[in-house]
Structure 1
Amino acid sequence: MSRQPPPVRSTFRTFMDQQTRWSDNDVYGHMNNVVHYKLFDTAINRWLIDAGLLDLRGGGLIGLVVETGCRYHAEAAFPDTITAGIAVTRLGTSSVTYEIGLFRNSEETAFADGRFVHVYVDLSTRRPVALPDDWRKKLAEICR
């Protein structure tokens, strides 16, 4: 079984820059695997906030992570600058599947890529709700 190659920057339509921190490195001298998931989560939520969709203080809709995955292709470490490419690969009634590619400095090929599946729920009841039209329209802009 052959492994799918890592994505390249042109795979994605929107990007978020993030700076690595000294504490991201582990005893082996590279970024610890759990940091990749933090970068995914930060990129997606930052994009949602910047797009005017996620309101951390007054919004009634939040995304709960129900599935994640990551493939590692190369190392990254502090002081690398990381660019996260973000795409929506599935837009369901109440769920969204995001694909994220992590790019080190100015490299064109991702050193890691992954997916996050969010189910959007009402903040109070924690029950799934259909994505509002404004969410669907904005998410469609980064669909692949």
Structure 2
Amino acid sequence: MPKETDIKRRRTRQDYVFHQTYRTRWIDNDMYAHLNNTIYAQLFDSIINHYLITDCGMDPFSSPPNSPPPSASTTPSENTSNTINKINPSGQVAIMVNSYCDYFASVSYPDVVELGLRVNKLGSTSVTYEVGVFKQGEEDVKVVGGYTHVWCERGVMRPAKGGMERGVREALGRLAVNGEAEVKAKI
């Protein structure tokens, strides 16, 4: 059986459900003329939080009581940044408890990168994301990384006793690629 790193190295854009493009900046390079590792963490954080805000109804700037997120019937590509101000904020927050990054090849300014997002594991209060980084015009994945969020009640910052809110869970379930039947059965 192939090692987990070998499996990640063979990822393609089609292995990811949600996509974004990022134009690298001169400041992203480090002294070795490739993207600094901290930039990858920022890219992962940006695509994940974009999805959480536009598709899951998360509003990091307010904390009203359990308002429902956007309709669970939309697909990830149907929501856009124009909907951010129209979203009903969630009564929960996602706290990062784990992160990882596997580097396979270098990217540097002035490259344009294409990011892919998927959910590898969806529990009752946790979600593990994976982000693939591809250089525009090239097929091989350059970096695969991600992190795990635990969903907590805003006021107490403890795991949500009843699990993550239904609409959030359904939206994250649309990104699930491994164990989809198990994820959908819990919704």
Q: Please give the range of the TM-score, normalised by the shorter of the 2 chains.
A: over 0.9
Q: Match of 2:118?
A: 87
- Relative to its length, the structure with more strand (as a share) is 1
Query: Is 1:19 matched up with 2:50?
Result: no
Q: Structure 1 length normalisation: TM-score?
A: 0.92
Contact persistence 1:9–1:109 (CA under 8 A): no
CA distance in 2, matches of 1:124, 1:107: 45
Matched position secondary structure for 2:110? coil
Q: Structure 2 length normalisation: TM-score?
A: 0.72
Q: What is the RMSD of the two structures over their aligned residues, measured on CA atoms?
A: 1.5
Contact persistence 2:56–2:168 (CA under 8 A): no
Q: Match of 2:61?
A: 57
- Which runs of 5 or more structure 2 residues have no equivalent in the other structure? 63-88, 178-187
Q: Match of 1:46?
A: 50
CA distance in 2, matches of 1:119, 1:26: 32
2:148 to 110, 114, 117: 117
Q: Match of 1:107?
A: 138
1:14-50 Cα offsets, whole Å, 9 max, x none, are 1122221211100111101111111111110011112
Shift of 1:56: 2.0
- Which runs of 5 or more structure 1 residues have no equivalent in the other structure? none
Shift of 1:53: 2.2
Q: Which has the higher contact order (CA 8 A, sep 6+)?
A: 1
Q: Which runs of 4+ in 1 moved over 6 A?
A: none
Aligned length: 144
* Rg (Cα) greater in structure: 2
CA distance in 2, matches of 1:37, 1:70: 8
Q: Match of 1:78?
A: 109
Query: Is 1:33 matched up with 2:37?
Result: yes
The farther-off stretch of 55-64 and 16-25 is 55-64
Q: Percent identity?
A: 32
